[in-house]
Structure 1
């Protein structure tokens, strides 16, 4: 397979990932937070602790916007800020207990929808899906 064909398949795949992600996460966030804030919390749930600049990069947001959203999340008690012991200017962000609870509830809803999507998959299909995800994670999304 030539690289152009592979690239076109990647574009189609990532488009499908966005569509399925939307379907799996639709209406799982609390009404008390914005969609942007949910995405930050979701990132924290799988990557914490992270720096504000890592959040900014991952969410494709400016640092002023990231700082504003982090302040709002902190005021709602959903995140905690931890200062680096060696460099007090550097801080890390992680979910608070309330934030962890919120994300566990969201992930439980997402898991239910995911299980529904794969309910008719054979054992072999599930093994192939797992292998494909492992390969993508190690070869492309590292």
Structure 2
């Protein structure tokens, strides 16, 4: 049987490795920002989703925050213990739980809004507005096509 005529790209040109390196570069200032709040980047994502979209069921939160359900369950439990979110049973489907950002959770978003905006603006400045938007468009396309 003939060996396939394909070689792995150099790690310098590997899409998975490039995405991980870029993620780390983007997340480093976010992690630094969150230290003072005492929350993790995953908790921040959940709070951001709830702040932006309002009450969500856990399946929606998992999809929008790119978290697996077992991880999300632990995060939701911790956020609830810290009174950053509240949980409610759906009035139409008692098996379904909805989570809502609590005032203390919204306060964390509000307290970090200016710095988070500066971090995003810095990345946009470095890339240029058009390339920044193009990058987001290409990543969205990749997410929906693969």
Could you tell me the TM-score, scaled by structure 1's length? 0.67
Q: What is the CA–CA distance in structure 1 between the aligned matches of 2:124 and 2:97, rounded to whole Å? A: 40
**Other structure's SS at 1:29 match:** helix
Question: Which residues in structure 2 correspond to 1:118-137 (within 5 Å)?
Answer: 118-119=124-125, 125-137=128-140
Higher relative contact order (CA 8 A, sep 6+): 1
Q: Secondary structure at the match of 1:59?
A: coil
Alpha-carbon distance change, 120 to 15 in structure 1, aligned in 2, over 3 angstroms: closer
Provide the residue aligned with 1:77 in structure 2.
83
Question: How far apart are residue 43 of structure 1 and its match?
Answer: 2.8
In our comparison, the structure showing a higher alpha carbon Rg is: 2
Q: Deviations over 1:53-90 (max 9, x none)?
A: 5556733462xx64444233223220021221211121
- Give CA deviations for 1:30-65 in whole Å, capped at 9, x if unaligned: 556452xx4134234136544335556733462xx6
Closer, same or farther in 2 for the Cα pair 1:113/1:82, shift >3 Å?
same
Q: Number of matched residues? A: 131
Provide the alpha-carbon RMSD of the alignment.
3.2
Runs of 4+ aligned structure 1 residues displaced above 6 Å come to none
The equivalent of 2:142 in structure 1 is: 140
Unmatched tracts of structure 2, length 5 or more: 1-5
Question: What's the offset of the Cα at 1:29?
Answer: 2.0
